């Protein structure tokens, strides 16, 4: 289940996929990127971009940060949400939804780190 891989695998898959596209379509990797992300995808994007920023110039992750020009977030739960209760009634709560259920220390730290980097 991809939802359960949020903390590492899905973020790595996203970063690597974007980097592959940058290399395939633009050999110099300097084509600007505009991201549009909604709801949970916004949190995943923040995690991916802050992870890429952690690696600085030592890896290809640097090119992702360099190419990122704009980001539009639509209904991204930066401070947590209670809306998932409506969406998942009578269903088991996944770890990803649980992580944004309310404003947690991890979510606050992620948003702080993102705003410092970008």
* Annotated domain spans of the chain: 2-117
Alpha-carbon span 44 to 103, nearest angstrom: 16
Q: Residue 4's pLDDT is what?
A: 45
The predicted structure's pLDDT at residue 75: 80
Output the pTM of the full model.
0.68
pLDDT of residue 49: 87
How far apart CA 96 and CA 18 sit, in angstroms, is 22
Token output for 95: 């770890």
Contact 75, 38 (CB under 8 A): yes
Question: What is the full per-residue pLDDT of the chain (118 aa) written as tens digits?
Answer: 444 455 678 888 888 888 888 777 656 666 788 999 887 888 888 888 888 887 765 566 777 778 888 998 888 777 665 555 545 554 554 555 555 555 577 778 888 888 887 7
At 69, which helix (H) or strand (E)? strand 68-74
Burial class (CB in 10 A: 0-12, 13-18, 19+), 101: middle
Structure tokens at 81: 């949400």
């Amino acid at each position: 289940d991809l939802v359960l891989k949020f903390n590492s695998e899905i973020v790595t898959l996203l970063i690597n996929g974007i980097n592959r596209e940058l290399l395939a379509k633009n050999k110099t990797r300097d084509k600007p990127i505009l991201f549009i992300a909604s709801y949970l995808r916004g949190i995943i994007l923040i995690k991916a971009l802050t992870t890429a920023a952690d690696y600085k110039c030592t890896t290809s992750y640097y090119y992702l940060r360099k190419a990122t020009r704009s980001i539009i977030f639509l209904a991204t739960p930066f401070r947590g949400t209670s809306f998932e209760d409506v969406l998942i009634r009578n269903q088991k709560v996944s770890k990803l939804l649980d992580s944004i259920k309310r404003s947690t220390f991890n979510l606050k730290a992620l948003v702080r780190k993102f705003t410092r980097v970008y």
